Amino acid sequence: MTNANIQNPYGRQIVSLDGDWHYLIDPYETGFYNMFGEENSFGYFRNLTPEDHWASEYNFKQSPTLKVPGDWNSQEPTLLWYEGTLWYFRELPAIPDDGLRRFVRFGGANYDTIVWVNGQELVRHTGGFTPFEAEITDVVQAGTNYVVVKVNDERLKDGVPTRNTDWWNYGGLTREVLLIATPATFIRDYFCQLDADTGATISGFVQLDGEGGQTVELAIPELGVSYQISTDAAGFGEFSLSATPERWSPQNPRLYDVSFSTAADVIHDRIGFRAIATDGEDILLNGDSIFLKGISMHEEAIGHARRANSIEDARRLLAEAKALGCNFVRLAHYPHNDHMCRVADELGLLLWCEVPVYWAINWESQEVLENARAQLIEMIVRDRNRASIILWSIANETPVSDARTAFLKSLAETAKQLDPTRLTTAAMFMRPDKVEEDGEVVRTYTLDDPLADYLDVMGCNQYLGWYYTKVTDIANARWHSDKNKPLVMSEFGAGAPKGKRGGPLDRWTEDYQVTVYEAQLAMMQDIGFLRGLSPWILKDFRTPKRPLAGVQDYFNRKGLISDKGERKLAWQTLYEFYQTK
């Protein structure tokens, strides 16, 4: 894929564009449309101050600043609930006249973004959680260069995600912005992983950007690998070589120094080699059946209700998962930032990564499908070399219909085509029922969503003991599936603000949260095809859907730790369960 985003930007010659960016709030999009709603060539992207033009009524440099990376909501109280358009502006550092190509790369901007450099529009991007870039080589000039970015985070009926979600719609340049310099021909993309079938072959590809037909050297010094890859006229080359690396696993997160180089360019990476597969109801890591001891997580920092965006944020969140005894984390409900997956590689945490195809998406629209597919592709391309990632999730809690299943089947196929080395999944619902047995009512839960036929692993979200079914009825639950596939219980849980205590059956108390966990975990022991779980959720998180005053206060309180990072009683319940697994 010649137009894939630049692989591994942090392994290249980069300058950070993070820091203070000037901003303008523009709910009426005055800086983009004229009074008749037409795109206005005299817009804010021209960066014209009143001194530059008598009709101008803005001046970026006199305007306040926001930190980038960072959502605007947590930085400025007046922007906490703001949804709409906001403009960013900064000047670029001096660009040396060194013949190198230059790209501006955004790790993520929520939701609809347009980028101009020196008044020239360079890229439009939709989707709040995946990277995009623009080449600026031909638009930069000696002297001053500036970037203007318009970000609109309005929730849209035809959006992905759509209007209704249970997380805060953090807006803005939420992730790091980089200035990347490359030679005229450079190594744009590569993939290097253990062949799942043989387990004794490392294979993959390399994609040059620029002049094709060159040889690329793949080096893995610790394995004594120095391999010449020839590329075709379009700069594409594949490779397959015998090697028996130490296997990456949660117990042994072994990473190797890997580099691809040409005469003009070199890119270094740290890659773990492992094989992931299913066998009937088993999930096999490096050929051995594994149980995924997990937790779900939003991309929100511990101690600050804001988007997590730094390597320190990632380390803190994933260290808490490790402390809980996890070998697995579900990154919900959208691709998290670059740092999460790299830290998971280092810590030995297996990952479930997901695109925000969440609840009631417009399944009939081809445009919406292509938007979802683009986000899926950007997620897979960005992280395809991360050993930690074992599952690509294409959806969360979507209502069964033919249009929906066709939509998601198409996404599952795209994931498999792009990356046959990993497993596909989705968080689905179960079908509840009741049967009479020896005069006793037995509750049955069946995994028979038609979508499961197109996935490798079934995910199931259920809230027995919280949204439905008394906690005391969980004990005699019976789970069924004739899919002969593994199940990951991708969500279950109960809400409790830190410090709220009561009896074991008192809802909204830490004690009741323990009761639900104990009942759920006991039930899990009897589900023969269960191969993992990721309870909802590691940390209380901000959401506009939770207004219960004095209890939720616009936070979902199902965390095992509070938004400040304080552990609740149920943290220990899950910790002890994982010690037994």
Residues that bind ligand GCU (CB under 6 A): 166, 333, 396-397, 461, 491, 536, 556, 558
* Least spacing, CB of residue 91 vs ligand GCU, in Å: 40
Paired tokens of 282: 């088993």
**Residue (106 or 571) nearer to ligand GCU, CB:** 571
**Residue (55 or 549) nearer to ligand GCU, CB:** 549
Q: Which residue has the tokens 């597919």?
A: 373
Helix (H) or strand (E) holding 426: strand 423-428
* Least spacing, CB of residue 360 vs ligand GCU, in Å: 13
Residue with the CB atom nearest ligand GCU in the bound state: 166
* Least spacing, CB of residue 510 vs ligand GCU, in Å: 16
Nearest by Cα to 463 from 474, 478, 452: 474
Cis peptide leading into residue 131 (ω within 30°): no
* Least spacing, CB of residue 359 vs ligand GCU, in Å: 8
- Say whether 64 sits in a helix, a strand or coil: coil
Q: How far out from the chain centre does Cα 338 lie?
A: 9
**Residue (28 or 468) nearer to ligand GCU, CB:** 468
Are the CB atoms for 273 and 241 separated by under 8 Å? no
**Residue (17 or 351) nearer to ligand GCU, CB:** 351
Q: Which residue has the tokens 């369960």?
A: 577
**Residue (135 or 166) nearer to ligand GCU, CB:** 166
Are the CB atoms for 425 and 408 separated by under 8 Å? no
* Least spacing, CB of residue 103 vs ligand GCU, in Å: 34
- Say whether 520 sits in a helix, a strand or coil: helix
DSSP 8-state class, residue 344: H
* Least spacing, CB of residue 133 vs ligand GCU, in Å: 30
* Least spacing, CB of residue 495 vs ligand GCU, in Å: 7
* Least spacing, CB of residue 406 vs ligand GCU, in Å: 22
Paired tokens of 273: 């080699």
**Residue (166 or 282) nearer to ligand GCU, CB:** 166
DSSP for 169-197, written as a single string: ---B--S-EEEEEE-SSEEEEEEEEE-TT
The span from the CA of 296 to the CA of 490, in Å, is 8
**Residue (108 or 493) nearer to ligand GCU, CB:** 493
Are the CB atoms for 495 and 535 separated by under 8 Å? no
**Residue (166 or 473) nearer to ligand GCU, CB:** 166
* Least spacing, CB of residue 167 vs ligand GCU, in Å: 7
Which residues are CB-contacts of 433 (< 8 A; sequence separation ≥ 6)? 443, 444, 445, 446
Helix (H) or strand (E) holding 149: strand 146-152
**Residue (298 or 531) nearer to ligand GCU, CB:** 298
* Least spacing, CB of residue 536 vs ligand GCU, in Å: 5
Residue 538 backbone dihedrals phi, psi, to 5 degrees: -65, -50
The span from the CA of 84 to the CA of 219, in Å, is 47
Q: Which residue has the tokens 């006793």?
A: 440
The span from the CA of 581 to the CA of 576, in Å, is 9
**Residue (239 or 536) nearer to ligand GCU, CB:** 536
